[in-house]
Amino acid sequence: MEELHDESLFSSYIEAHQLQHVFHKTLMSHVTLWRYQQGELICSKGDKREYMYLLVRGKLKIFTTTKEGKTFILCFKHPLEAIGDIEYVKKTDMVNTVEAVTEVHMLRISHQALMRHANDDPRVLTFLLKGITNKLYAKSNDLSFHLLYPVEVRLASYLLSVLSDDDSTSKRPVRLTDAANLIGTSYRHINRVIQRFAEKGLIERHRGEITIRDRQRLLEIAEHNIYE
């Protein structure tokens, strides 16, 4: 984790996502830009709520952990995505754990600054409402995806999601237990489908790492649905 003091980069993210229309000048002075490396945690389930983050570059994985230590991946997120917005509204500790899948850049603003300078600001409240509404809509679509599509489609979607957008042929470790937890099936079933994908030349599997060999055919199997 590293704070970036690049005013040009900061301004480019603000303009790209039109955040100058959300945060007024006083509030903007409390916004900082941070970089997280691949695999770093942005926050963990149960952490004290302190900040709202806005993902402006890269990809995030959001997951939760049970008392028994089992991990369940909930979704993957691209810009522009808010983290800590629900916690700010509900005044609760962090609900899920958020991890950088790739190197990510995050805008960060403290809940304290939001309370002090934007608690009744209609621009900020509208922004939060739209973001939370989008999350509810996405959750509804995810549920339909789980109920209506076979494991092959869901696994193809998962494999496409765990790779960054510009890295379609890279070799990457893939935990099949994570895939099974997200997709809602058994490790054994996932393993069988992985073997079929390999036999068809869609992927290559070696020592826990998977290389996507035919992204287009995986997209066709996934019916262009990707866990995002």
Residue with token string 């079933």:
189
CA 80, CA 58: separation in Å to the nearest integer?
10
* pTM exceeds cut of 0.95: no
Sign of the CA dihedral with 102 first, then 154, 184, and 88 last: positive
Tokens describing residue 41:
């945690």
CA 19, CA 28: separation in Å to the nearest integer?
9
- pLDDT tens digits, 118-144: 999 999 999 999 999 999 888 777 666
- pLDDT tens digits, 48-63: 999 999 999 999 989 8
Provide the residue count of the chain.
228
Residue 168: what pLDDT?
A: 45
Does residue 68 have a pLDDT over 90? Answer: no
CA 189, CA 151: separation in Å to the nearest integer?
8
- pLDDT tens digits, 133-180: 999 888 777 666 666 788 899 899 888 887 645 444 456 677 788 788
